[in-house]
Amino acid sequence: MTATALRHDWTLQEARDLFNLPFNDLLFRAQSVHREHFDPNEVQVSTLLSIKTGACPEDCKYCPQSGHYNTGLEKEKLLEIEKVVAEARAAKQKGASRFCMGAAWRSPSKKDMPYVLDMVKQVKSLGMETCMTLGMLKEEEARELADAGLDYYNHNLDTSEKYYNHIITTRTYQDRLDTLDNVRRAGMKVCCGGIMGMGEDEDDRVGLLVQLANLPQHPESVPVNMLVKVKGTPLEDVEDLEPFDFIRMIAVARIMMPASHVRLSAGREQMNEQMQAMCFLAGANSIFYGEKLLTTSNPEADADMQLFAKLGIRPEQRQQCATEAQEEEVLAEAVEYEATRHMFYDATRESA
């Protein structure tokens, strides 16, 4: 089967037409495109650690980490390198191969850059892939991060250019596009997506996807977030998103960026299993676990493994490096365990 060619010339009307397809037609088309590029029963799993939390000078209206809003979030300074490396090592021991580090900054300061570069080098030296989100990057900073060994950079466009200033006023859409450009030119992989349910309309969702799909190169990873309404942020009372609109967004993203990983990201905890399953059917093939992923007795991770087992989904198998294979093995074992554990009698537990 010839795979659908990647396009970078999508028009708004073409994207609107996709959104307006009957739901079953849209899902069928998205799933067909998905199967041309990916194993439909594999989902990539990523992990995330906040290396600096809260007190961000930006005013993103959805974000509890913004210093403009009082959300009661506990602020944390930049984590010491030793702590970050210890977390990365612990994650590696549990089988993780990619370590994503996020800092609530407008952009990394001159003072913080050496620490961040050292973090990248040290995590990389554990044999792990590295990913960071640090805010806006200049060309020089992007190059330094790439030289230190950073593999992926996350920087979201959030919404359409038209709706953007309803959500953020402290930096422009063009600032974000410039950062993405700097990341690409430095040779790093791009993780870039948006957030649904911020009061935007369908044309804003269309606008965001056209913007992403028409970048010179599609982002390797496209996180699609559902707004988590946090008390104290300006969006705390925004109207709930219609779940079918979210699933449509996933499906249209899959069709327009057929070879990218479409990530079911923030807001997943609010989705029931059936909705997550429909998102996978629509072409989502990546999920984010929290920083406690892979540590023992993490109920969220357990629930994810159970859902994978119920759906016959495996963590994505990739062959790039030994550590990734190790990660997949650990996760695959967890899924296998969830699928079969009812067949075993646990002799370590006392009978009632």
Does position 56 interact with ligand SF4 (CB under 6 A)? The reply is: yes
Does position 49 interact with ligand SF4 (CB under 6 A)? The reply is: no
Does position 48 interact with ligand SF4 (CB under 6 A)? The reply is: no
The alpha helices in 50-160, defined as continuous H runs, are: 81-93, 113-125, 139-148
State which residue, 67 or 243, has the beta carbon closest to ligand SF4: 67
Q: How far is residue 144's CA from residue 191's CA, in Å, rounded to a whole number?
A: 18
Give the closest residue to 283 by CA, choosing from 95, 44, 67, 15. Answer: 44
Q: Report in angstroms how near the CB of residue 227 gets to ligand SF4 at its nearest.
A: 12
Q: Is the dihedral of CA 95, 220, 288, 148 positive or negative?
A: positive
Does position 137 interact with ligand SF4 (CB under 6 A)? The reply is: no
Q: How far is residue 209's CA from residue 228's CA, in Å, rounded to a whole number?
A: 20
Quick one: 343 exposed, middle or buried, by C-beta within 10 A (0-12, 13-18, 19+)?
exposed
191 is a catalytic site residue = yes
Residue given tokens 């709930």 in the structure block: 240
263 is a catalytic site residue = yes
Task: Please check whether residue 150 is in contact with residue 120, taking contact to mean a CB–CB distance below 8 angstroms.
Answer: yes
For 213, the token pair is 């799909």
63 is a catalytic site residue = yes
Task: Please check whether residue 199 is in contact with residue 237, taking contact to mean a CB–CB distance below 8 angstroms.
Answer: no
Q: Indicate which residue of 29, 63, 192, 254 is catalytic.
A: 63
279 is a catalytic site residue = no
100 is a catalytic site residue = yes
Q: Give, as ranges, the residues between 97 and 136 that touch ligand SF4 (CB under 6 A).
A: 104, 135
Q: Report in angstroms how near the CB of residue 286 gets to ligand SF4 at its nearest.
A: 20
Q: Indicate which residue of 56, 98, 176, 205 is catalytic.
A: 56
State which residue, 227 or 335, has the beta carbon closest to ligand SF4: 227
Q: Report in angstroms how near the CB of residue 76 gets to ligand SF4 at its nearest.
A: 12
Does position 294 interact with ligand SF4 (CB under 6 A)? The reply is: no
Residues that bind ligand SF4 (CB under 6 A): 56, 58, 60, 63, 65-66, 104, 135
Catalytically active residues, by annotation: 56, 60, 63, 100, 131, 191, 263
